[in-house]
Structure 1
Amino acid sequence: MTVTHIAERAGITRRSYFRYFSDKREVLFANSDRLPTAVGEAVLAADKDTPPLTAVLDALAEVGVYLDKHGDGAAQRLEVINSSPELRERERTKLAALSAAIDQAVRQRGLRPDLATSTAQLATIAFANAYGRWVRANRQETFTDCLASAIAALRGALGTVSWPTATAEPGGTAAHDPAPRAESTGS
């Protein structure tokens, strides 16, 4: 979708459009810079005894309540974003900012840096998957329900992880113990 199309649909001229927005990304991502801040503040406001990931998921559910009330046009927005590599990159940048805000907030709550980063990345994956499901459901499901489904899917995926046995070698590197091989019968 071009700026001309957007302006025509809005009933304004291209010139009027550019008085308010420098490009179409600004229309599609208007107010998206508030998401990381809102989630970070909600994480920090959570009860100090709330586990970090729970605080983050509760914060994302709060965002979902807002989306449920004000998410008109989400499907069209996502369609436009998916049609453009440039806009998909901007969407990834937005999600990276969300992850960074979550990372910072859980670190401020005292979580170790490595766990903070993992927590932020998992929560951001859950958010992105929930948002996609919510859009595809055309608001027939609440965002919170979509978030619960996304979390369940992540739990399911992580629950099936199986790692090879690793042994430490001198110098701190890990060597994987290969599976036993059948002996050759010499035939």
Structure 2
Amino acid sequence: MGRWEPDAAGRLREAAMALYAEQGFDGTTVADIADRAGVTARTFFRHFVDKREVLFAGSEELQRRMVDALTGAPRDAEPMDAITIALLAAAELFADRRDHSRRRQAVIAATPELREREFIKMASLVTAFTEALRQRGVEPDTASLAAETGIAVFRVAFERWVTGPEDADLADVMRGTLADLSELTA
């Protein structure tokens, strides 16, 4: 495939995911990914900072969407209701990305360095949620607790979704996980 072919970033993502599955994250180099995608390493670095970024590109978009949904929630929404709106916005983003999400999750689960990066991403979401709730007038301790709880629900629901039945809908899994939380706290 020539370097002029369109969607180099998409080809690089697919090549990386295939190689990570075949030889592991640590056993895969940027040169391997570029070669499989039919581009140069230089082209790789035009799209991604490093080979980890292939898995985490889009984190900013996820955070933006979730925070926008939270801040756009009705003014009279309780903190967890606003969080629910944010979680459902994330579900929309992942609606047609299940296969990619499954493969990505498997690579992350197998690599301690990537699990740490995922943890940092989740902590960033907690911070953003906390700030958004505080801007809505929620007391700081309550905002922090709601944000932490919301991201815990997101993580559990996402794991249930990627390991669940093929026909599972992430929004439904999120709602089910929130219902489980309500039962725990009743």
2:66 is aligned with 1:39: yes
Structure 2 counterparts to residues 1-187 of structure 1, below 5 A: 1=25, 2-3=28-29, 4-137=31-164, 139-159=166-186
**Residue 184 of structure 1 aligns with which residue?**
none
CA separation in 2, counterparts of 1:72 and 1:12?
A: 24
Poorly superposed stretches of 4+, deviation over 4 Å: none
> Counterpart of 1:24 in 2: which secondary structure?
coil
> How far 1:58 moved relative to its partner?
1.3
SS for the counterpart of 1:33 is helix
Larger-gyration structure (1/2): 1
Q: CA deviation at 1:72?
A: 4.1
CA distance in 2, matches of 1:158, 1:59: 21
Which residue identity is paired with 1:158? T
Most deviating of 63-72 and 33-42: 63-72
How far is the alpha carbon of 1:139 from its aligned partner? 4.5
Distance change >3 Å, CA 9–CA 135, structure 1 → 2:
farther
Q: Is the 8 A contact 1:134 1:143 kept in 2?
A: yes
What is the TM-score with the length of structure 1 in the denominator? 0.77
Alpha-carbon distance between aligned partners in 1 of 2:60 and 2:166, rounded to the nearest angstrom: 23
In the aligned structure 1, how far is the partner of 2:153 from the partner of 2:124? Answer: 15
Conserved in 2, the CA contact under 8 Å of 1:75 and 1:138? no
Structure richer in helix, relative to its length: 2
Contact 1:68–1:142 (CA<8 Å) still a contact in 2?
yes
Q: How many residues align?
A: 159
Identity of aligned residues (%): 38
Compute the RMSD of aligned alpha carbons.
1.9
Gapped runs of 5+ residues in structure 2? 1-24
Contact preservation (8 Å) 2:161, 2:168: yes
* Aligned residues of 1:103 and 1:116 also touching (Cα < 8 A): yes
Whole-Å Cα distance in 1 between the matches of residues 34 and 105 of structure 2? 18
Q: Residues 39-98 of structure 1: CA distance to partner in whole angstroms, max 9, x if unpaired?
A: 111111111111121011112112202211344411111111111111101100111111
Q: TM-score, normalising length from structure 2?
A: 0.77
Contact 1:35 1:98 (C-alpha < 8 Å) held by counterparts: no
Measure how far apart 1:6 and its partner are. 3.5
**C-alpha distance in 2, partners of 1:28/1:135?**
15
What amino acid maps onto 2:136 in structure 1?
Answer: R
Unaligned regions of 5+ residues in structure 1, if any?
Answer: 160-187
Output one character per residue of 1:113-158: Cα deviation in whole Å (capped at 9) or x when no partner: 0100000000000001111111112652111111012112222333
Distance (Å, rounded) in 2 between the aligned partners of 1:115 and 1:136: 32
